[in-house]
Structure 1
Amino acid sequence: MLAIIAAVAFFIAFLINAAEISTNDAFTSTNIMLLGLTLLALHVAGVGSGWSARGRRR
């Protein structure tokens, strides 16, 4: 799920950069890209995967 949100954030950053849309300082394409990278790193680290080590024990 986090990877899908990261992909959407990368797409929004690309659109802002490609269309040269003027935005405020907090909503720049670089900040959106860094948010996407953070979400992608969390996905790779296994955060939000839904699997629990305690739930798998029998």
Structure 2
Amino acid sequence: MTAIISAVLFGLALLFALFGISLSIITAEVLMLAGLLCLALHLAGVGSGPVRVRGYSRRRPAR
């Protein structure tokens, strides 16, 4: 989910940069930083849903 949000933020940042749009505090740089934050959270595994573990948290070695 955070990857999708990141893509949307990067798209908005591109549009803001192309058309020179700046809304008081929201600029292309702010949107780009927010997109990078969402991308970093996605790569860290945040927002991927709960991890369900049955039994042991580690796999037993194969025999």
Question: TM-score range, shorter-chain basis?
Answer: 0.7 to 0.9
RMSD, aligned CA: 1.1
- TM-score of the superposed pair, with normalisation by structure 1: 0.86
Unaligned runs of 5+ in 1: none
- Runs of 4+ aligned residues of structure 1 deviating over 6 Å after TM superposition are none
Aligned length: 55
The structure that has the greater radius of gyration is: 2
- TM-score of the superposed pair, with normalisation by structure 2: 0.80
Paired-residue identity, %: 49
Q: Which residue of 2 is the match for residue 12 of structure 1?
A: 12
Unaligned runs of 5+ in 2: 56-63
Q: Does 1:31 align with 2:30?
A: yes
Bigger helix share = 1
